[in-house]
Structure 1
Amino acid sequence: MNALAYTIANISTEGNLSLLSLETPIGALWVLLLATQDMGEDMRVGARGSAYFKPTQVLLIPQNPAPCTHNCFASRIARIQREAILSLVSLEGDISALVPTRSIEGFSEGDCCFWWVNPSDILLQS
């Protein structure tokens, strides 16, 4: 499981949905939450906690995506553990991606790549 420490920078709410902007050591991370009731004291601007997402939810991108893409970060590949179907890619900053081996055929250790995670795939713990 990938984990990033965060501080809530901004919260936008509409109906039962909330979009949070989190400050993390690697940059701004956006999280989409379904809030059926008051989010409570743990979900306020300035609150701190940890954001978690699975390695299977990380998408690797070989080239720079559009500059307006949220939750997209540049990292160097620290290690690749290749298997027949899936490969575990370890990125600097303690981020892991579990991806189809065929999708990383052009990647090598030390290469710079971009990675992305969907805002709805992140869990928060305060």
Structure 2
Amino acid sequence: MGNADQPPIEVMAVLPGGVRDTCRIWLGWYPSPAPIGLPAAGQLCEFDQPLSLRLQPGAPWLLGFAVEDGDDHLHQLAPRWPVVARHPAPIARPQQVTLHFRRAQMHDIPLLSALPALAK
């Protein structure tokens, strides 16, 4: 999703070892590298789908959250060890990007993990 007038970027998601590749991924555009407040735009997709979203002026930071399918709702709403990603630099032009997901660390600001669960 996002501004239909903006060009798209193509995203390749890379999951860490031990995470099933049957998961749902939330990708969101934020105005800063920390997921503070609501995203300006975003998209929920399956991991094995081509990931494409439109640039979002004013919110150039691409962040992601992955939830493994089949997990119960409690785990989806409050995972013990969230799987997250943040592109290392703001994105302001069309390009292909690789988004490396990892297990969240204690100091990470959490993304809204309820988003993938609420879409079911």
Compute the TM-score of the two structures, normalised by the length of structure 1: 0.24
Q: Which has more radius of gyration?
A: 1
Give the structure, 1 or 2, with the largest relative contact order (CA under 8 Å, sep 6 or more): 2
Compute the TM-score of the two structures, normalised by the length of structure 2: 0.25
